[in-house]
């Protein structure tokens, strides 16, 4: 799956992943290959993802939105004031 995370400053991450967990407004959820299409509001928390050839990584967000469609996860996020 392809994960793209953008913020007002530009693209923060662009990588191939095996799974992504997101802090949804209705609770945290995980996206795996073949996930149903969705658009969801994100709240403060961590986006946790596992690159195909790497260890788990985290990115703190204060809110945003995610779109999942055909194994593409696109996140438009607000990040804390400190640089990631």
Chain segment 4-58, per-residue pLDDT in tens: 999 998 999 999 999 999 999 999 999 999 999 999 999 999 999 999 888 999 9
Bridge partners of residue 11, in order along the sequence: 6
- 27-65 per-residue burial string, b: 16 or more CB within 10 A, e: under 16: eeeebeeebeeeebebeebebbbbeeeeeeeebebeebe
CATH architecture of 2-78: Sandwich (2.60)
Better-scored residue on pLDDT, 82 or 1:
1
pTM of the model: 0.90
């Amino acid at each position: 799956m392809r994960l793209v995370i953008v913020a007002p400053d530009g693209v923060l991450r662009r990588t191939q992943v095996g799974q992504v967990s997101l802090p949804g407004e209705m609770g945290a959820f995980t996206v795996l290959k073949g996930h149903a299409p969705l658009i969801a509001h994100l709240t403060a928390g961590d986006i946790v993802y596992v690159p195909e050839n790497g260890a788990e990584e985290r990115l703190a967000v204060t809110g945003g939105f995610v779109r999942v469609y055909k194994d593409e996860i696109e996140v438009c996020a607000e990040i804390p004031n400190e640089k990631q």
